[in-house]
Structure 1
Amino acid sequence: MTTTVPSPNAVDGCFLSYERDEPRFRPYVGAVLEVTGSCPGPGPVREQIAGRVDRMPGLACKVTRRGGRTVWELDPGFDPRRHVHEIRVEDGRPSLIRAVDALLGEPISAGAPRWGVWVIHGYSPDRYALFYRAHHAAQDGQAVLDALTALFGVGPAVPPRQAVADTPGGLGTGGNRDPLAWVRNIPARAIAQNAADTVRGLRSTLTWAPHRPLTGRTRLLSAAVPVSWPRDVAKALGATPNDVCLAALAEAVRDWVPAEWRARPGPGRELHVGLPVSLRRPEERFAVGNRVSAVRVPLSYWAKSPAGRVVAVARATRRVRTEGMRRVLRAQLECLPEWLVYRFVRQSCAANSAVDTSGLLRVPRRLAVGADPVEAVVPTLFLHGDHLFAVSFLSYQGQVQVSFTVDRALDDVGDLAALWADAVERLWREVTGSPVDPVDPVAAPVSPSGHAGPVSPSGHAGHAGARDPHASRPGENS
């Protein structure tokens, strides 16, 4: 299998420049994999990765300077075994939590391809974890999932699809790389919509003053619900499961924000998320670098009806999920100068821009380390600027996991992940009319972060009574 090794695009370059300008910035994305079995140590993990790394050729690429330009290049000394690290811990799940939280702030050396796998074990005789981390300049969210599937997926390698030749109308995905031709074939309505979004994006989104300085240190909170819950709600309301996840996010934040926090810039302002849109063409499946953009989407934060909020969010996201919008965003990626894209990225570091989110990603295949099955996958994001938290959603093996990366200054405010799981459950019961039932075995595994608490009687990995934002503190489950 071959890979495309292009010069870093504008988004790649922005993350590299941002890290250079702000040395404390940690732009890493990844996932925690909780594995059932007795940990074999790092050796077998190294061999499995070495035997499969050619399924994801971009893992061998590093960023470097050539002739005054920043470029991606294949690392001549690449050895995937060196990218696997071992962390031994004791004292049960709390030590796993502490190890994961500590790794969120650890840099990865720029002298080699910037990804790694940390084998965390010793906290349980029959469970261990792998923490996959990659620099966002090299991998977007979809690339992280491709890497996980390549390295740990059960079954044969998945080859990339072939590029489709461009048609005279410019509707294909390969061949023609003339950026101006690409722009000329973008529907005028999509261009106008994108321009309107840009103007609206200048208005501040809803945020709050927590009356305490942020620390820059983060922790991971997570919880799980059965995948059938957001799917059932989405089907009933003409939405998507991602719409349901976002609507539940708005309700969880409403429950989480303490009454004494003053809203900025004032009451009535809408809360937005930066909804990612994948721009990856079929032939770019294993290319290094980012193929993603984002569109600001309102969450109908003040809606009185949770079901009505889902409908409103679905209406807002529907226009984003069009081929015309993807073409507009792809043209921006290919045509805008890096200095301008960097300006947009730096603007997004302000909390009043939008909440950072991954959208609902899906791991399409079961994962395993040797014969040991991966039971849960929790995605991880990063914080930048004065954001209070970032949120990510991921579907794997019958569960939807939510993860919040939260500044440690807010440890005593409440468990956003548990509140989100509670909001999804209430939505599901309201829309489907389902009564309280016994523990759902699909949702029984506790999430790797451990902060979601024990499995509640209603079936999700969360806190009973989590509607009270102060009923459970993130540290109390550690």
Structure 2
Amino acid sequence: MTTTVPSPNPVDGCFLTYEREQPRFRPYVGVVMHATGSHPSLSRVREQIAGRVDRMPTLACKVGKQGRRTVWELDPGFDPRRHVHEIRTEDGLDSLDRTVETLSSRPIPADAPRWEVWLIHGYSSDTYALFYRAHHAAQDGQAVLDALTALFGVGPALSPRQPRAEAPAGPRTRANRIPRTWSERIPARAVAQNAVDSVRGLRSTLTWSPHRPLTGRARLLSAAVPVSWPREVAGALGATPNDVCLAALAEAVRRWVPEDWPARPAPGRELHVGMPISLRYPEERYAVGNRVSAVRIPLSFWAESPVDRVIAVANATRRVRTEGMRRVLRAQLELLPEWLVYRFVRQSCAASSAVDSSGLLRVPRRLAVGADPIEKVVPTLFLHGEHLFAASFVSYRQQVVVSFTLDSALVDIGDLAALWADAVERLWREMPTPVKGNE
């Protein structure tokens, strides 16, 4: 299997520039994988990864800055074993969480491909964890899950799909003519909608002022619900499971924010989330770098009915989950200069921009370390700027897991992850009985 090393897109360079200007910023995305069994030796994990790394050739590519230029290149000295490390912790799951939080703040070396795997054990006699993390300049969320599937997926290697065939040769009619110009390839309605969303994005979203200074240090909170719950709610309301996750996020935040926190810019303002949209073409599964953009989505924060909130979120996401909108966002990725994209990235540092979210990503296959099954995956995201928290969602096997990256100054306010899981359960229980499966 081969990989393409195209010219870098602006998003890759933006995260590198951001990190260079803010040395404490750690733009890393990852997943904690919980495995069942006695922990393996470090050499065994290294050998599994070394034997499978060719399934995702981009893992051998490194990205960096040469002056103002962003450069992707194959690492001539690439050795996947050097990317795999080990750490022993104390007893208890709290020890695992603290270890992941500590590792999340450590820089990934810039002189090699920017990903690594940590074998974490010692907190339990019959379980252990693997923490995969990567620099956001190197991998977006979908690429992280592709890496997990390549390195730990059960079964044969997956291959990228082939590009869609062009229209057959013959007379050029309106029905089979291939669009050639920018205006032909991108529907005017999608361009107009993107412009409207961009103008709306200049308005501050709802945020709050805690009565304490933020630390910038991240704490991780997670919870899980059966995958059937958001799926069945979505089916009953004409939504998607991602819509249900976002609606439950709004409900959880409503219950979490203390009443005495001042709302900014004013009470009644809408709360928005930055919803990622994958821009990868089928043949780009193993292309390096980011192929993702984000659109600001209102969460109907003030709706009294959780069901009405799901429907409102579904209506909002439906407008942007179109092929036309993806073409607009893709064109922006390919045509806008890096300095302008960087302005957008830095604007997102403000808490008044939108809540950071990964959207609901799905791990398509079972994962394992040798014969040891991975029973649960927990996504990790990063904090930046003035954000109080960030939320990420992953579907794996029979669970949907939410993970909150929370500023450590706010851990005593309440468990956002538990509140989210409760919101999903209450939504599911409100659905008509025929919609539900077995509990």
Question: What is the TM-score normalised by the length of structure 1?
Answer: 0.88
| Offset at residue 368 of structure 1 (A) | 0.1
One-letter code aligned to 2:69 = R
Cα drift, residue 41 of structure 1:
2.0
CA-CA distance at 1:389 after TM superposition: 0.4
Q: CA–CA distance in 1 between the matches of 2:42 and 2:298?
A: 44
**Corresponding residue for 2:268?**
268
Once the two structures are TM-superposed, the CA of residue 437 in structure 1 deviates from its matched residue by: 12
Segment of structure 1 superposing worse, 97-106 or 51-60: 97-106
In the TM superposition, what whole-angstrom CA distance separates every residue of 1:399-425 from its partner, at most 9, and x where no partner exists?
Answer: 000000001010111000000000000
Whole-angstrom distance in 2 between the partners of 1:217 and 1:126:
30
Aligned: 1:294 with 2:294: yes
Partner of residue 33, structure 2: 33
Cα distance in 1 between the residues matched to 2:203 and 2:125: 52
Aligned residue runs from structure 1 range 315-394, under 5 A: 315-394=315-394
Q: Contact 1:206–1:271 at 8 Å: present in 2 too?
A: yes
Offset of residue 432 of structure 1: 3.2
The 8 Å contact of residues 183 and 331 in structure 1, kept in 2 or not, is answered as no
| Superposition misfits of 4+ residues, deviation over 6 angstroms | 168-172, 434-438
- Following TM superposition, by how much is the alpha carbon of 1:86 offset from its aligned partner in structure 2, in angstroms? 0.3
Q: Which residue of 2 aligns with 1:53?
A: 53
Residue 17, structure 1, aligned to residue 17, structure 2: yes
Gaps of 5+ in 2: none
Partner SS state of residue 314, structure 1? helix
> Cα deviation per residue 1:210-262 (whole Å; 9 max; x = unaligned)?
02111111011000000110111111111111110000000000000011101
Change (3 A) 1:437 1:124: farther
- Give how far 1:162 is off: 1.2
Q: Aligned partners of 1:325 and 1:369: how far apart in 2? A: 39
| d(CA) in 2 for partners of 1:169, 1:51 | 50
**1:112 alignment counterpart:** 112
In structure 1, the residue corresponding to 2:308 is in which secondary structure? helix
Q: Which residue of 2 aligns with 1:91?
A: 91
2:3 is the counterpart of 1:3: yes
The equivalent of 2:192 in structure 1 is 192
**Cα shift at 1:66:** 5.7
Query: Equivalents in 2 of 1:170, 1:278: separation in Å?
Result: 29
Give, as a single letter, the amino acid of the residue that structure 2 aligns with 1:199: V
Kindly provide the amino acid, as one letter, of the partner of residue 217 in structure 1: R
The aligned amino acid for 1:400 is V
Q: Distance in 2 between matches of 1:28 and 1:66?
A: 21
State the alpha-carbon separation in 2 of the partners of residues 170 and 372 from structure 1: 56
Classify the secondary structure of the residue corresponding to 2:129. Answer: strand
Classify 1:307/1:65 alpha carbon distance in 2 versus 1 (closer, same or farther; 3 Å). closer
**Within the alignment, does 1:211 sit opposite 2:230 as a pair?**
no
- Whole-angstrom distance in 1 between the partners of 2:382 and 2:84: 21
C-alpha separation in 2, matches of 1:7 and 1:194: 25
Q: In 2, Cα distance between the equivalents of 1:242 and 1:230? A: 8
Query: What residue in structure 2 maps to residue 455 of structure 1?
Result: none
Deviations 1:184-229 (A, max 9, x none): 4200000000000010000000000002111111011000000110
1:146 equivalent in alignment to 2:133: no
CA distance in 1, matches of 2:35, 2:341: 39
Shift of 1:70: 2.3
Mapped partners of 1:67, 1:345: distance in 2 = 20
- Residue matched to 1:472: none
Report if aligned partners of 1:351, 1:386 keep a CA contact under 8 Å in 2: yes
Q: Distance in 2 between matches of 1:252 and 1:393?
A: 14
Distance 1:188 1:206, change over 3 A: same
Task: Indicate the SS of the match to 2:40.
Answer: coil
Trace 1:216-227 onto structure 2 (pairs within 5 A): 216-227=216-227
Paired position in structure 2 for 1:423: 423
Deviations 1:430-475 (A, max 9, x none): 113599999x6xxxxxxxxxxxxxxxxxxxxxxxxxxxxxxxxxxx
8 Å contact from structure 2 (residues 12, 290) kept in 1 = yes
Q: Equivalent residue of 2:35, what SS?
A: strand
In structure 1, how many angstroms separate the alpha carbons of the residues matched to 2:244 and 2:145?
Answer: 22
Question: Residue 125 of structure 2 corresponds to which residue in structure 1?
Answer: 125
Displacement of 1:283 in angstroms is: 1.3
Instruction: Report what 1:470 is aligned to.
Output: none
Separation (CA, whole Å) in 2 of partners of 1:69 and 1:141:
24
Q: What's 2:412 paired with?
A: 412
Question: Per-residue deviation at 1:91?
Answer: 2.0
Residue 71 of structure 1: CA displacement? 1.0
Note the residue ranges of structure 1 that are not aligned, 5 or more in a row.
441-478
Residues 239-254 of structure 1: pairs in structure 2 closer than 5 A: 239-254=239-254
Measured after TM superposition, the shift of residue 165 of structure 1 is 4.3
State the 1:68 CA deviation: 6.5
In the alignment, what sits opposite 2:156? Answer: 156
Check the 8 A contact 1:233/1:432 in 2, yes or no.
no
- Aligned letter for 1:14? C
Amino acid across the alignment from 2:70? T
**What's 1:452 paired with?**
none
SS at match of 1:158: coil
Report the Cα offset of residue 182 of structure 1.
4.0
C-alpha displacement of 1:265: 0.4
State the distance in 1 between where 2:343 and 2:330 align. 18
Per-residue deviation, residues 328-353 of structure 1 (Å, max 9, x unmatched): 00000000111110000100110000
What is the number of equivalent residue pairs in this alignment?
Answer: 434
Moved more, 246-255 or 425-434: 425-434
> In 2, Cα distance between the equivalents of 1:213 and 1:35?
37
Per-residue CA distance 1:44-77 (angstroms, 9 max, x = gap): 1100000000001010001245687321000000
User: Residues 12 and 70 of structure 2 are in contact (CA less than 8 Å); yes or no, is this contact kept in structure 1?
Assistant: no
Q: Tell me the distance in 1 between the aligned counterparts of 2:67 and 2:394.
A: 41
Query: Deviations along 1:12-32, whole A, 9 cap, x unmatched?
Result: 111011001111110000100
Find the aligned partners of 1:311 and 1:411 in 2 and give their Cα distance: 31
Q: Distance in 2 between matches of 1:388 and 1:365?
A: 33
Contact conserved, 1:60 with 1:113, CA < 8 A, in 2?
A: yes
Please, what is the CA RMSD of the aligned residues? Answer: 2.2
Secondary structure of residue in 2 paired with 1:310? helix
Query: Alpha carbons of 1:263 and 1:287: their partners in 2 closer, same or farther (altered >3 Å)?
Result: same
Contact 2:228 2:437 in 1 (8 A): no
TM-score between the two structures when normalised by the length of structure 2: 0.95
Percentage of identical aligned residues: 77
Q: Which amino acid aligns with 1:135?
A: H
> Is the 1:183–1:328 contact (alpha carbons within 8 Å) kept by the matching residues of 2?
no
Structure 1 170/352 Cα, relative in aligned 2: closer, same or farther at 3 Å?
Answer: farther
- Partners in 2 of 1:128 and 1:271 — Cα distance? 38
